Chains A and B, each alone.
Chain A
Amino acid sequence: MLNNRNIKLVFFAIAWLLPAFTTANAQTPQSNPQQRFEQANVLFSQSKYTEAARTYQQLLDEGHTQKALFFNAGNAWYKAGKTGQAIYSYEKALQLSPNDAAIKHNLAIANQKVSGFVEELPLVFFQQWWLQLQHLHKANGWAVGTVVLFWLLIAGILVNSFLPGWKNKFLRWGNYVIGALCVLYLLMAIDTYLSSNNHQSGIVMNSNIKAKTSPDENSRDAFEIGEGMKVHIVDATAEFCKVELADGKNGWISCAYIKRL
């Protein structure tokens, strides 16, 4: 009996709290994203860069991932003097649109403020082709394409094998082509997924960080890393990350300093 009442009470509480949570969630975005985006653009043009950057960042934190949003946030952070944040935003924008000249240009400007900046080696031509190909479709485009092609392939095979009247060599070759495309789409879909969920590189957010020779605060300093440096994380413990710079130098720094891309 008592148990029963308790359960009822819990249900009651949940029934009360649930709408409270949902309203709280609904209240955080004050207005629709487009309005806030435009508001931030206005702040930017009024030279209120820090406020503009905060607004952009808020939108990003809510889970919007638009190239323009990252790009504008990068500009605002750069103007506000936060090089690390700016480079992080540009890198994110570049991930979404790797061949955007404007992003590359602004990122290059921001990188000039990074002390000890080392330029990464440009990609080999086939890597570039692969990257360009990867961005031919949107993130889920490849997966959808895989499904569509697979259906077509199965249909083609069925028609080819069960309808003797339809049987000809064009259909057979068509099936081969669709099959090859389907495999390619599947590979692309997997690669896109993996590469965008790969957090093995990051941007250093604090300035003048001493990279250590081992994951220990008391170990010897190996070199210094400036704010905004892009690093690759090769190894990590709970607190320390082993980072590698573009020029091959590596050392251990606290993971708290790195914002993973």
Chain B
Amino acid sequence: MKYRICIRKCIYSVLFCLGLVACASAQEFRFTTTVSNNTVTQDEPFQIQFMLENGVNVASFTPPSFKDFEVLQGPSQMQGQSIFNGKRSEYIALSYLLQAKHVGNFTIAGAQARVNGNIVKSNPVLIEVRKGNAQQQQQQAAPPSAGVPSHRGQGGEDLPEGFLKKGEDINEKLKKNIFLKVDVDKTSMYEGEQLTATYKLYTRLPTNSSVTKVPAFKGFSAKDIELPNPPQATEERVNGVPYKVFTIRKTLLFPLQSGALELDPVEVDNQVRLVKMVANKRGGANRNKDPFEDFFNDPAFKDPFFDDFFNRPEVEYQDVPYKIQSNPIKINVKPVPVDGRPISYNGAVGKFNMTAVLDKKKITTDDALTLKVTISGQGNVNLLNSPKIEVPTGFDRYDPKVTDDIEKNSNPLSGSRTFEYVLMPQEAGDHTIPAVEFSYFDPAANSFKTLRSEPFSVHIEQGKHIKQDKQDYGTGKNDLVKNETGILNWTRNHSWFIVSAWFYILLLLPLLIAAGIIFYKRKKDYNTTNAAVLKHRYANKVALKRLELAARYLKEGKDKAFYEETSRAVWGYLSSKLKIPMADLSKQLVQDKLSARSINGSNTHELFNLIDNCEVALYAPGQDDRKMQGTYEKAVTIISNLEDALKN
């Protein structure tokens, strides 16, 4: 509102002035549109100015619409008068600083104004917009932004640093105005604790910079925070001097080992555009007190267009290469304390929560169970190791599937890591999966903390699909050959026959039998070779037995009894051997029987001699012992001979 009043005031004053000068000279009326550049790139601002010269009674002034452009600045209104070649002219101008939104050819319609009751229009202009220059887009770190020099600088100090003053050392100047700095939030920490490192470029000079060497972060796990592209500058004051600051890299670091570690430096190549003052072509115009200077110093003319137009100093640009490097930073990493370290601890540092979920409570052996362990919180989430899970027998376990959900650009690093354990039940029945345990080190509390879930109980039923182990071993290489069934011969642990006594007895037995047979055979052989001797011995035995009584009488010397007995024994022998009853016995019968048995004559003859001798001795006693002995021996021989003869 105020602004409008101001404009109105201005317009009135202009009208008043015009009124004053109208009489003096009637000047040519002109209404023109001018642009600073007809062909522009997309990201290049340009200026458009609508100038109404020598207008009388200007009632309204409406600019056209800039629908394809962005108004960066404006409208800025100017008014004034000029005397040119003795002619005095007045003007009102409206100017905008525009930037194209799209690529293409655009026509900006002229501005409208009501002058002296008539509507007038300025000429339309054609703007050709091209695509932005590729090289310009590549400028990574710092676009030359420190600015076009302003001639209104009052002293050396305020002069923008892009200016190179006379006699100034370039290197000294660069060193003072461009440098790199590494910010770390701490220099001493525990292994696995987070460290934030920020690499920053401080500059007061327009420079085209590119990072040539990025730090490797040896001994750390690094996670970069995404930076806006193109880089956005911030302002920071160092020792009271403002700098433009560009963040080159911001990284979350997790030391993987303890000890003294070093953050590598970063290297940046700069092309610094320095501006050198050169002598102005218009000679003394600048030096001399310009009569218009005060006028142009009016804030309304603080505009680059006008600067360029009227008062641009003659300058020379110089691109200076400048390579800078940050200082390496020493970090002292302490190992995580050993005291009180839980068994389940495996490297987590920070602050975490854990949830463990088993997807099913009841399942068949055909299915698979999923145990999902989610660890969320702040700390080295990206480095978490899978918590160890005690799986009871009867489950096949596979390596966990790890999914990360890490919050982008979070600082400190936060998010969650999920471990999915797939468990294949192999055995039917009720099983309990023990509680999942997870421990971490909390550097803030300087202590270990352990999280524990509830144990899970699962009921597993026999699935329908029974794995058919193949009988063909070639195909099912990793399947077991199935069980053997059928009726077995249930003998207990057998005893060893070879160590039992029976084994040896049975081995000895044939030997003994063989020995017996051999012994028997030997004896039999011996007997057969002496058959006659043996036979006779037997017959002799018979005779001796018959003559047992006779022998006694012989010893006693009873001759009568001896002969009687001998005779009886011989007759008795003959009777039993020849089977003749005692009553029928006679010499004739005995002789007949013996000859029938083909007994040779000498035996028979001796037999009868003996019988006769005995009869004679019975009836003629008084014979001596020698005869008795002879008779006895004779009787033995005869009976023996008869026995042998009768046997065959």
B490 near A49 with CB under 8 A, answer no
- Given known A79-B426, A143-B503, contact A155–B510 (CB-CB < 8 A): yes
State the CA gap A68–B511 with chains docked (Å): 41
| Top 10 closest pairs, chain A to chain B, by CB | A63-B493, A154-B510, A68-B484, A102-B481, A81-B393, A140-B497, A143-B497, A143-B498, A33-B490, A72-B483
Q: How far is the CB of A261 from chain B (nearest CB, A)?
A: 15
Please, which residue of chain A has its CB at the minimum distance from the CB of B512? A154
- Given known A65-B493, A68-B486, A143-B498, contact A47–B481 (CB-CB < 8 A): no
A256 interface contact, C-beta 8 A: no
A46 near B507 with CB under 8 A, answer no
B394 near A80 with CB under 8 A, answer yes
Among B428-450, those with CB < 8 Å from A are 428-429
Among A6-48, those with CB < 8 Å from B are 32-34, 37-38, 41, 44-48
State the CA gap A143–B462 with chains docked (Å): 49
B499 near A193 with CB under 8 A, answer yes
Residues of chain A with a CB closer than 8 A to B514's CB: 154, 157-158
Can you name 17 A-B residue pairings with CB atoms under 8 Å?
A32-B490, A48-B428, A48-B429, A68-B485, A72-B484, A79-B480, A105-B481, A109-B480, A139-B494, A140-B494, A140-B497, A146-B503, A154-B510, A154-B511, A162-B517, A189-B497, A197-B496
A101 interface contact, C-beta 8 A: yes
A201 interface contact, C-beta 8 A: no
**Contact size class for A?**
35 or more
A190 interface contact, C-beta 8 A: yes
Contact indicator per residue, chain B 616-643, by CB within 8 Å of chain A (1) or not (0)? 0000000000000000000000000000
Among B484-506, those with CB < 8 Å from A are 484-494, 496-499, 503, 506
State the CA gap A142–B497 with chains docked (Å): 9
The B contact surface, by secondary structure, is loop
B residues adjacent to A (C-beta < 8 A) = 365, 393-394, 425-429, 460, 462, 466, 473, 478-494, 496-499, 503, 506-507, 510-511, 513-514, 517, 521
State the CA gap A80–B513 with chains docked (Å): 59
B365 near A189 with CB under 8 A, answer no
A102 near B473 with CB under 8 A, answer yes
- Given known A50-B394, A158-B514, A189-B498, contact A106–B507 (CB-CB < 8 A): no
Please, which residue of chain A has its CB at the minimum distance from the CB of B395? A81
A78 interface contact, C-beta 8 A: yes
Q: How far is the CB of B398 from chain A (nearest CB, A)?
A: 15
Residues of chain B with a CB closer than 8 A to A82's CB: 393
Residues of chain A with a CB closer than 8 A to B394's CB: 47, 49-50, 80-81
Q: How far is the CB of B433 from chain A (nearest CB, A)?
A: 14
Residues of chain B with a CB closer than 8 A to A151's CB: 506, 510
Contact indicator per residue, chain A 137-163, by CB within 8 Å of chain B (1) or not (0)? 001101110110011001101100010
State the CA gap A162–B462 with chains docked (Å): 75
Residues of chain A with a CB closer than 8 A to B507's CB: 146-147, 150
State the CA gap A18–B466 with chains docked (Å): 49
- Given known A46-B428, A105-B481, contact A140–B488 (CB-CB < 8 A): no
- Given known A46-B428, A63-B493, contact A101–B511 (CB-CB < 8 A): no
Please, which residue of chain A has its CB at the minimum distance from the CB of B507? A150
Please, which residue of chain B has its CB at the minimum distance from the CB of A60? B493
Q: How far is the CB of B477 from chain A (nearest CB, A)?
A: 8
Residues of chain B with a CB closer than 8 A to A37's CB: 488
Residues of chain A with a CB closer than 8 A to B496's CB: 139-140, 143, 193, 197
Q: How far is the CB of B127 from chain A (nearest CB, A)?
A: 77
User: Which one of A41, A80, A106, A147 contacts B393 once the chains associate, using CB atoms below 8 Å?
Assistant: A80
Given A33-B490, A34-B490, A147-B507, 4 more pairs with CB closer than 8 A? A48-B427, A49-B427, A68-B484, A162-B517
State the CA gap A167–B578 with chains docked (Å): 45
Q: How far is the CB of B464 from chain A (nearest CB, A)?
A: 12
Please, which residue of chain A has its CB at the minimum distance from the CB of B503? A143
A78 near B480 with CB under 8 A, answer yes
State the CA gap A144–B493 with chains docked (Å): 17
Residues of chain A with a CB closer than 8 A to B462's CB: 46-47
Contact indicator per residue, chain A 69-100, by CB within 8 Å of chain B (1) or not (0)? 10110010011111000000000000000000
Q: How far is the CB of B521 from chain A (nearest CB, A)?
A: 6
User: Which one of A46, A62, A65, A190 contacts B498 once the chains associate, using CB atoms below 8 Å?
Assistant: A190
B492 near A64 with CB under 8 A, answer yes
State the CA gap A22–B429 with chains docked (Å): 36
A66 interface contact, C-beta 8 A: yes
Residues of chain A with a CB closer than 8 A to B491's CB: 64
User: Looking at A72, A81, A190, which has the most chain B CB atoms within 10 Å of its CB?
Assistant: A81
Residues of chain A with a CB closer than 8 A to B427's CB: 47-50, 79-80
Contact indicator per residue, chain A 94-135, by CB within 8 Å of chain B (1) or not (0)? 000000011001100100100000000000000000000000
Q: How far is the CB of A136 from chain B (nearest CB, A)?
A: 16
State the CA gap A33–B494 with chains docked (Å): 16
A66 near B489 with CB under 8 A, answer yes
Residues of chain B with a CB closer than 8 A to A193's CB: 496, 498-499
State the CA gap A131–B281 with chains docked (Å): 115
State the CA gap A48–B462 with chains docked (Å): 9
